[in-house]
Amino acid sequence: MGLTALAAVGTAAALDAGFSEPPGRVHPIALFGRVVGAVDREWTRPRAVGVAAAVALPLAFAAAAWGVVAGSGALAGDERVAAVATAVVAGFALFSLTSLRMLVSVARDVTEAADRDADAARESAIALVGRDTSLLSAAGIRSAAVESAAENLADGLVAPLLAFALGAQVSVPVGVAAAAWVKGVNTLDSMLGYPDRPVGTASARLDDAVMWVPARVSAVLLAVAAGSPRSLVDARRWARVPASPNSGWPMATAAAALGVRLEKRDAYTLNPEAALPSPAEARTGVRSVAVAGALAFLLAGVAAWL
């Protein structure tokens, strides 16, 4: 079972490196998002509906993932063929539940375009950051790209990989189901978890609990990737500045490791005494996210194998 889990993580990493993302029309997260979209409307009792959605939808997503992976092994008669089929299908499933190459690619493109074509960079940044980019300066665009890359490392990669590694201690299908459950929770929060949407309150609270460990693991990985263990100590001063109890950790660690200020207007300023990232510092920040992501794949594979 350990080798099958390791092969699944290796398959997912290879697919991510080679192909970035599955097409949107068949992407499991996109399909799940359509289901979540049906919940995003006015309800007589929005909080009750929100609790039901937060409980039922991620579980249904996890059950579907488990069924696909478990079924692939069950259809194969020979034990060795079943192990290979399970590893391949689980790898494809894990690939669809994680994202590194696209995250790094978009962040790199945005930072590179910030000085060359600020309008194009602001447009591209919309896919990466959750804010109005129309008034951002070139340095502000770079800041947004670096902090968003650091934050998304946690929920887009580390969280599902960590869930898979834990679930794979039981079985590979359970590992994939755990990763799908985490992505389901995160997707609900990203679509519904806003203060003006009572239907998303339960999803936001659940996501806060689920992401507590992955956010801090991501901070450690970023510190290692940047070669700056001290940044974890420095990050403690600013990690609680953002409203989220989790996103501040990877972002503050990135700010400390790079020695730059990362800020979102009217929301937070991390490492306030430093300057906004230069082009070279922004490139270093994105590269650190890429290295941290590679470390996450490696550690998840080893943990799943043991």
The answer to the question of residue 278 being in a domain is yes
Roughly what angle, to the nearest 10 degrees, separates helices 159-167 and 212-225?
A: 110
Q: For the ranges 76-90, 206-220, 291-305, which has the lowest average pLDDT?
A: 76-90
Give a yes or no: residue 290 inside a domain.
Answer: yes
Residue 235's pLDDT is what?
96
pLDDT at 130 over 80: no
pLDDT of residue 1: 66
Could you report how far apart the first and last alpha carbons of the chain are, in Å? 10
Residue 77 has pLDDT above 90, yes or no: no
Q: Which two tokens stand for residue 119?
A: 């309008």
Q: CB within 8 A of 18, min separation 6: which ones?
A: none
Question: What total of structural domains would you count in the chain?
Answer: 1
Q: Is residue 160 part of a domain?
A: yes
Which residue did the predictor score with more confidence, 89 or 136?
89
Angle of helix 172-192 versus helix 159-167 axis, rounded to 10: 150
pLDDT tens-digit map of 1-10: 689 999 999 9
Residues 33-59 pLDDT 10s? 999 999 999 999 999 999 999 999 999
Q: What is the mean pLDDT of residues 266-287?
A: 95
pLDDT band at 76 (very low <50, low <70, confident <90, very high): low
305 within domain boundaries: no
Nearest CA to 223 out of 285, 136, 148 is that of: 285
Nearest Cα to Cα of residue 170 among 258, 66, 57: 66
Range of the domain at 53: 2-299
pLDDT at 20: 74
Residue 158 lies in a domain: yes
Q: Quick check: is 251 in a domain?
A: yes
Quick check: is 87 in a domain? yes
C-alpha 116, offset from chain centre? 28
Taking only the tens place, the pLDDT of each residue in 180-204 is 999 999 999 999 998 889 999 999 9
Lowest mean pLDDT of 14-23, 91-100, 161-170, 293-302, name the range: 14-23
Residue 174 lies in a domain: yes
